[in-house]
């Protein structure tokens, strides 16, 4: 059984699949407490569901894209089985993860969108850099940036771990803290090999859960 906060259909608001109609499966629970977290409602509660019941709910929507998210989905042991089952059903599956938990057993067909926590998150000590070994060109590393320190620190990580050599790198502003245009200008000024992104779903629907 897996504890689920919500299953909903929306446009993908982040990653390199932004704008695509997607079913989101949000698992309950997270061991991190990032300062900018916008899904704290998923820390507790939820409903226990079997993998079969989750697949049935996902199949109600006419799309080939499914994102498994949280909270931190990998905090639940059943997440790996769920990912495998979605892949077996022919879905294009992505996993949104903090990267603080071992990703070795994640199905190789799943697109991993892994955060590297910046200093202002107050959880950067939880970064599990060993997970970088499990990323490939189809996967993405995301830096959610709130200030100048975060930006400079993120640039250092790109160079230190040679991230663009083996995965795509995303820079995203923390809504309400980092001006998006300012971050975009810095990326262009420094000619960084990253994809700039904003949270499309927040531009469209604000902070409404389930969108």
Q: What is the pLDDT of residues 136-189, one digit of tens each?
A: 999 999 999 999 999 999 999 999 999 999 999 999 999 889 999 999 999 999
Strands across the sheet with 65-69, in order?
47-49, 2-11, 21-27, 65-69, 92-97, 111-115, 140-145, 168-173, 195-196
Determine contact, residues 35/126, Cβ cutoff 8 Å.
no
Residue ranges of alpha helices (H) inside the chain are 51-58, 79-88, 148-161, 180-190, 200-205
211 assigned to some structural domain: no
150 assigned to some structural domain: yes
Q: Tell me how many domains the chain contains.
A: 1
78 assigned to some structural domain: yes
| pLDDT at residue number 211 | 57
Angle at 108 between CA 25 and CA 193, to 5 degrees: 90
Question: CATH number for the domain including 45?
Answer: 3.20.20.70
Of 130, 187, 129, 194, nearest to 168 by C-alpha is 194
Q: Name the residue range of residue 73's domain.
A: 2-205
Return the SS3 of 195: strand
Determine contact, residues 98/27, Cβ cutoff 8 Å.
no
CA distance 201 to 189: 27
At 25-36, the pLDDT tens digits run 999 999 999 999
At 90-135, the pLDDT tens digits run 999 999 999 999 999 999 999 999 999 999 999 999 999 999 999 9
End-to-end CA distance of the chain: 25
| pLDDT at residue number 210 | 59
| pLDDT at residue number 110 | 98
| pLDDT at residue number 202 | 80
| pLDDT at residue number 209 | 54
At 59-93, the pLDDT tens digits run 999 999 999 999 999 999 999 999 999 999 999 99
| Confidence tier at 15 by pLDDT (50, 70, 90) | confident
41 assigned to some structural domain: yes
Tokens describing residue 9: 């259909």
| pLDDT at residue number 203 | 81
Determine contact, residues 173/183, Cβ cutoff 8 Å.
yes
Q: pLDDT at residue 204 above 90? A: no
Phi, psi torsion values for 69, nearest 5 degrees: -140, -170
- pTM of the entire structure? 0.94
86 assigned to some structural domain: yes
| pLDDT at residue number 71 | 93
Burial of 16 (0-12, 13-18, 19+ CB in 10 A): middle
Count CB-CB contacts under 10 A for residue 171: 23
193 assigned to some structural domain: yes
């Amino acid at each position: 059984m897996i504890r689920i906060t919500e299953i909903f259909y929306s446009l993908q608001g982040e990653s390199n699949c932004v704008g695509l109609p997607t079913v989101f499966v949000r698992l309950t629970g997270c061991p991190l407490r990032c300062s900018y977290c916008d899904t704290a409602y998923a820390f507790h509660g939820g409903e226990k569901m079997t993998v079969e019941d989750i697949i049935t709910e996902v199949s109600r929507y006419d799309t080939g894209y499914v994102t498994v998210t949280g909270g931190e989905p990998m905090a639940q042991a059943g997440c790996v089985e769920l990912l495998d089952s979605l892949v077996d059903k022919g879905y294009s599956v992505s996993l949104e993860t903090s990267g603080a938990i071992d990703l070795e057993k994640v199905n190789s067909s799943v697109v991993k969108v892994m955060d590297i926590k910046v200093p202002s998150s107050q959880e950067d000590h939880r970064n599990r850099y060993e997970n970088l070994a499990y990323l490939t060109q189809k996967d993405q590393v995301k830096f959610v940036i709130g200030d100048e320190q975060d930006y400079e620190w993120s640039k250092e990580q790109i160079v230190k771990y040679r991230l663009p050599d083996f995965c795509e790198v995303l820079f995203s502003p923390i809504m309400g803290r980092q001006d998006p245009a300012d971050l975009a200008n810095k990326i262009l000024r420094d000619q960084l090999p990253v994809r700039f992104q904003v949270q499309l779903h927040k531009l469209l629907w604000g902070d409404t859960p389930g969108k």
